[in-house]
Amino acid sequence: MSEPSDEALLAGMAIGDERAAVVFVRRYQRRVYGLARSIVGDPRSAEDVAQDALVRVWRHAQVFDPRRGSAAVWVLAITRNLAIDAIRVRRPTPLDPAQFLTLGSLSEERLPEEAADASDRAPQIREALRALPVEQRRALVLATVYGLTASDVSEREGIPLGTAKTRIRAGLQKLRRALGAEVPLA
């Protein structure tokens, strides 16, 4: 029997289906915790963030709109936003983006259960990120994953503000082109 899609599980969670919630938590806990850990660094804080994120998904499943993007991106965006809130409270600057760029994010590893997400475009995204010059990739990850402004990136990387803006802009535009203009993003 095929595994239910993420979207089907979220639809079930929206009406309070406990089984859907359990399957969803099992499917996503490693990804949610991994993202939280890569942003906040501290395992204890990451655990809190990851728990908060999954509970928030359960409580707000009814507002998920599959037309606006995949369930994976929605869940991970919730996680990222909570993680960014956490590091803003606890630490003036986030970890080095290498935490995100080297701890498996650009590897091909994926657990079998994650293959249930038919809209998984991770390989394509990894390839697009790899194709970016490293300085653009760092700036882009600092801005998109860690929530830094161009000014923050400038300060952190020790580069002029204009350079930081250029790197973020060029990186994002290349990524956007690489992911295609016509195909909806995962």
Partner 1 sequence: MSVRPADCATVADELPELALGTLSGARRAVVLSHVQGCARCIDEVDRLASAADAILAVAPDAEPPAGFETVVLERMGLSGRRRLRVAPRRRITRIALAAGALAGALGTGLGLGLSSAGGGGPAAVAPIAADLTAHHAILGEVYLAAGSPGWLFMSVDHLGVTGLVTCKVRTVGGATSTVGTFWVEGGAGSWAYQLPVPAGQVRAAWVLSGGAVLASAQLNR
Task: Using CB under 8 A, pick the residue from 7, 42, 60, 69 that binds partner 1.
Answer: 69
Pick the stretch among 2-10, 42-50, 85-93 that binds partner 1 (CB under 8 A).
42-50
Q: Does residue 40 bind partner 1 (CB under 8 A)?
A: no
Q: Three-state SS string across the chain, please?
A: CCCCCHHHHHHHHHCCCHHHHHHHHHHHHHHHHHHHHHHHCCHHHHHHHHHHHHHHHHHHHHHCCHHHCCHHHHHHHHHHHHHHHHHHHHCCCCCCCHHHHHCCCCCCCCCHHHHHCCCCCHHHHHHHHHCCCHHHHHHHHHHHCCCCCHHHHHHHHCCCHHHHHHHHHHHHHHHHHHCCCCCCCC
Q: Does residue 161 bind partner 1 (CB under 8 A)?
A: no
CA distance 40 to 50: 11
Q: Does residue 8 bind partner 1 (CB under 8 A)?
A: no
Q: Does residue 29 bind partner 1 (CB under 8 A)?
A: yes
For residues 96-125, which are near partner 1 according to CB under 8 A? Answer: 100, 103-106, 109-111, 120-122, 125
Task: Using CB under 8 A, pick the residue from 10, 40, 86, 140 that binds partner 1.
Answer: 140
Contacting positions for partner 1 (CB under 8 A): 18-19, 21-23, 25-26, 29-31, 33-35, 37-38, 43, 46-47, 50-51, 54-55, 58, 69-70, 72-73, 76-77, 79-80, 100, 103-106, 109-111, 120-122, 125-126, 129, 140-141, 143-145, 148-150, 165, 168-169, 172-173, 175-176, 179, 181, 184-186
